[in-house]
Chains A and B, each alone.
Chain A
């Protein structure tokens, strides 16, 4: 059933989503349908039955979408206001004065403006709160890869907990030392390997094998102790359900970042067992711990949330509400934005070929997500990744990794040898991070960079220090081990 039949108040009746192209008439009827039809081809939209049936229909939709005024996205909700708390969040917290600078533009003009010299870093920062997820999703649908890269690179989003993430010419890494059974020694081995390769400034974040409170507590204490003992300017996270993290906080655990997977419809978040109130409760509980650093300017590092998203997650919960998966994804960023996260990670290729079929679809999706997130003011990282049942390989990952870093991506994952032995997928390795830093001259977060250099892991040029032995800092821990 179409949106306007259910909710006539959302349709600006004067606006018709019709066109004629090469003797073919198209009537897309609703903005929701128009958005889906205009989306570059991907398997998840076909699975949902919302994608364009052929190339001509897609381009026709893109032409029509280009003429839609940005204002229309405030008039025509893609998911009904009274049914969905994310729509309410988007509409109720829309910043009209920030929007004023671009409120006269159509989607097509908005693309032109974003590419122009008028859209500077300062101005893009100033309008972020005036943009809605649907507006940025719409413009991304008529942008090429180079457009997505060029505009995203102009955005600057800086966040802080114990270090400073997102500065120009910096690329951070999440150290992800997962182990199939959460064995502390196994986690420690991966962790040390990563630190010795200069990885871990975004976060040291572990996906536990089970959502078990005891394992979560053990890992939280271990990460806290390692960070304290070696004075590492970074933060930790155990990526467990927000309710488990809340329980851990209640039991006095040293929680730095609160993790949660989030999606772009209320129904999808219901299926994750979360809502806005619960996320708010968790954020306040973590803030109360006050574990961020006090920075020189007198402010406390208070970005204490870590969110993960990914195109297709709403559909996989059968909660996409007729939206295309990229628009759904952008709506998840409205949820993220409300809670001032340190990091947002689009886990782009994790979900599998039923949503993003091959390397080409994964690459474009990763760059779209980064663009949309950055334009909305989020510290966007990307888990450049794929599964073994997708039509993708290491070459595809190298292309996305390189393009993501050129676009000014905030952080990537660091997994030993790119092989996550717990989650069973391939991400980026410590070596991958060093490669991309090397070719593009990118540096880690400044506080972490200083620590790496101070302990002789990196030299002054931010290359791995040539040495016959491990750095003094870790020597004694390794000496006690049996061969």
Chain B
């Protein structure tokens, strides 16, 4: 028999730490297990994330919004014909479809300096939320550097390496890929940026790339991401390389209140 006055769970008396992190801390316990509310809360988040993986990106809408900014776009498709093939065949997500190849061949073939590629990846909501606002900061910066840019390439069912073929086609030394990252329970809309210097299709590997990840409302801000990316671009031009030999040496400026309580364990 349980006493009707006795609580069935034990609370953790450190709730105030939740102000510092989106992580699931101070959940309390039932015995030594998760309390019912925390358990169902997790299941709810998982259900939302699972459903989000399969929502297709509205490419026409994105194109329209970018065009309003005056940015030209070109929508391409990989050899992964649908989401199910895309999930099981990453190799096909790195190759352009025949019609997209033909489409690229038709576009102007003057040499360019940088290509900007946007791929849906594993989270269409990441691109839906963050691609347009980020590009509206990035593209003017690239134009200010007098870089010649082809249209922004929007790629359906694309993996990171799809940028290599596009950069190669335009003979551009700088390849910037914005892609939806695998959705997390607490961040279903996280965007990543992969930067590759002198990308070559089928030859460039992960070791040749620099990654800026976790761009979302509770993660890296657009300004922080932009600062890192522009640093990498400048350094890559200087060193003529990207990847593991190109280290991100920018400083992250945290908000003052976080800075103040940064080391509460060490005060």
Binding site for B on A (CB under 8 A): 43, 47, 177-193, 196, 209-215, 222, 225-226, 229-230, 241, 243-244, 247, 270-273, 316-317, 352-354, 357, 387-389, 393-394, 415-426, 429, 431, 434-435, 438, 463-464, 466, 468-470, 474, 477-478, 480-483
The interface stretch among B31-39, B57-65, B71-79, B105-113 is: B31-39
Q: Which of B173-230 contact A (CB under 8 A)?
A: 181-188, 190, 205-207, 210-214, 216, 218-220, 224, 228
- The CA-CA distance from A267 to B267 in the complex, in Å, is 47
Provide the bound-state CA to CA distance between A230 and B266, in Å. Answer: 9
B-side contacts of A418, CB under 8 Å: 24, 42
Contact of A189 among B20, B214, B248 (CB under 8 A): B20
Q: Give me the interface of B with A, judged by CB distance under 8 Å.
A: 10, 12-14, 16-18, 20-27, 29, 32-34, 38, 42-43, 45-46, 49-50, 52-53, 87-91, 122, 181-188, 190, 205-207, 210-214, 216, 218-220, 224, 228, 243-245, 247-252, 254, 258, 261-267
Query: A417 contacts which chain B residues (CB < 8 A)?
Result: 23-25, 27, 34, 38, 42
Could you say which residues of chain A place their CB within 8 Å of the CB of B34? Answer: 417, 429, 431
Residue pair B22, A196 in contact (C-beta under 8 Å): no
With A196-B14, A389-B87, A425-B184 known as contacts, the answer to whether A179 contacts B265 (CB < 8 A) is no
The residue among A273, A431, A483 with the most chain B CB atoms within 10 A of its own CB is A431
Q: Can you show 12 pairs from A to B with CB atoms below 8 A apart?
A: A181-B214, A181-B254, A188-B263, A210-B211, A211-B248, A243-B244, A244-B247, A354-B89, A388-B53, A388-B185, A417-B38, A463-B32
Return chain A residues, CB-CB under 8 Å to B213.
209-210
CA distance A244 to B249 in the complex (A): 11
CA distance A243 to B248 in the complex (A): 13
Looking across the interface, which residue of chain A has its beta carbon closest to that of B49?
A388
In the bound complex, residues from chain A placing their C-beta under 8 Å from that of B265 are 188, 191-192, 226, 229-230, 474, 477
| CB-defined contacts of A477 to chain B, threshold 8 Å | 264-267
Contacts A184-B263, A209-B220 known; A179 to B21 CB distance under 8 Å? yes
Residues of chain A contacted by B182 (CB below 8 angstroms): 352, 387-389, 424-425
Residue of A424, A431, A478 near B181 (CB, 8 A) is A424
**CA of A458 to CA of B88, assembled, Å:** 45
Measured CA separation A180–B267 after assembly (Å): 23
Minimal Cβ-Cβ distance residue in B for A247: B247
Known: A271-B205, A422-B214. Contact between A183 and B122, CB under 8 A?
no
A389 to B87, CA, bound (A): 8
A388/B23 in contact, CB under 8 A: no
- Contact call B88/A357, Cβ cutoff below 8 A: yes
Query: Are B206 and A272 closer than 8 Å at their CB atoms?
Result: yes
The reply to whether B14 and A192 contact each other, CB–CB distance below 8 Å, is yes
Are B248 and A481 touching (Cβ within 8 A)? no
Nearest chain A CB to B216's CB is how many angstroms away?
8
Contact of B244 with A183 in the complex, beta carbons under 8 Å: no
> For A352, what are the chain B residues with a Cβ–Cβ distance below 8 Å?
87, 182
- A229 vs B264: C-alpha distance when bound (angstroms): 12
Report yes or no: A419 in contact with B184, Cβ–Cβ below 8 A.
yes
Residues of B within 8 A of A222 (CB): 263, 266
